[in-house]
A = this chain, B = another copy of it.
Amino acid sequence: MAPAAELTVGQVAMRSGVAVSALHFYEARGLIRSHRTSGNQRRYGRDVLRRVAIIKVAQEVGISLAEIGAALESLPEGRTPTREDWNLLSTAWRDSLDHKISQLKKLRDGLTDCIGCGCMSIDKCPLRNKGDRLAREGTGARRLVAG
């Protein structure tokens, strides 16, 4: 009845969908932790599944392992993270996530806003209609990318 207390690296790999070598790699980078059996084999607590899930999702949206690692550092050392702990992590990321969401929406919604190089709006683009004004304003005329 009681769920197995610990998972082997192979079990975590199977359940999480990432390769054993990747789990070793994450551990070397401090993103996940394990303890060892007397025979030097890794054993994982089940919160590792959630950590790996976050790593995967975060990576998919372009967050680097370094950033993910920094965020995961905020989780408690000794005990299994609570819902509150996970919420804190989300909060820490909120700004950057909101920014990415808005970038994605721009891409999805027809690239009609002014982004990147200067201006994305075709019809009323200052670059096209006003003799290239933005080119002279500071270091590169980035608008929404900077803001």
Contacts and interface: CB of A to CB of B under 8 A. Distances in A.
A62 to B, nearest CB: 3
A105 interface: yes
A17 B115 CA distance: 12
Counted per complex, copies of this chain come to 2
Given A17-B145, A127-B3, A131-B1, A90 B108 contact: yes
B62 A61 contact: yes
Interface residues of A, number: 62
Interface of A: 1-4, 11, 14-17, 46, 49-50, 52-54, 56-63, 82-83, 86-87, 89-90, 93-94, 97-98, 100-101, 103-112, 115-118, 120, 122-123, 127-128, 131-132, 135, 139-142, 145
